[in-house]
Amino acid sequence: MHNGSSSALAAEETLLKVNLPTCAGHSIGTVAFLSSRDTYPAEVYDGVTFQSEDFFNLAYVEGSARLKGNALGVHGLRVDGVDFLSMKGSPIGTNGLDGKVYGGYSNAVFFTFLVRPQFAG
């Protein structure tokens, strides 16, 4: 995520929510939503679709979530819990999980986590 304002201004109450379906199939779509109370638009989203010729489902790899960015060091910050996989969401920020993303590319952050495909049989 990149906040295009000046580095002195922060997007407040920034939340990440990820829809990771529990269904099984040959094609499973996921969507991530990023929102903030004082940005325009207030929410953006994007998604990815996993596909296989074999029937599968997706499982979150416990403990794999990380918030990374210039202010967080080389390894970033481990994100405990799975609030980002619920409607509650997880606050993310330039300096940690405080929901404040400051402006400029030097304050950009990104969130990563792993999923594992599980195949029947």
Q: What is the CB-side half-sphere exposure of residue 42 using CA atoms within 13 A?
A: 3
Name the residue range of residue 107's domain.
Answer: 10-119
Query: Could you give the 3-state DSSP secondary structure of residue 72?
Result: helix
Confidence category of residue 2, pLDDT binned at 50, 70, 90:
low
Residue 3 falls inside a structural domain: no
**Domain contains 93:** yes
How confident is the prediction for the chain on average, in pLDDT? Answer: 91
Within-domain flag for 61: yes
pLDDT at 105: 85
Contact in structure between 65 and 84 (CB atoms under 8 Å): yes
In this prediction, residue 7 has a pLDDT band, given cuts at 50, 70 and 90, of low
Assess if residue 78 is contained within a domain: yes
In a domain, 5, yes or no: no
The answer to whether residue 60 is domain-embedded is: yes
Residue 66 placed within a domain: yes
pLDDT at 15 over 70: yes
Task: Give the lowest-confidence range in 31-35, 48-52, 66-70.
Answer: 66-70
Beta strands in 1-121 (DSSP E): 10-11, 15-19, 25-35, 43-60, 66-69, 77-78, 90-91, 101-102, 109-112, 115-119
Domains in the chain: how many in total? 1
Percentage of the chain modeled with pLDDT above 70: 93
Question: The whole model's pTM is what?
Answer: 0.88
Taking residues 49-63, report their average pLDDT: 97
The pLDDT value recorded for residue 6 is 61
On whether residue 1 sits in a domain, the answer given is: no
Quickly state the pLDDT bin for 83 (edges 50, 70, 90). Answer: very high
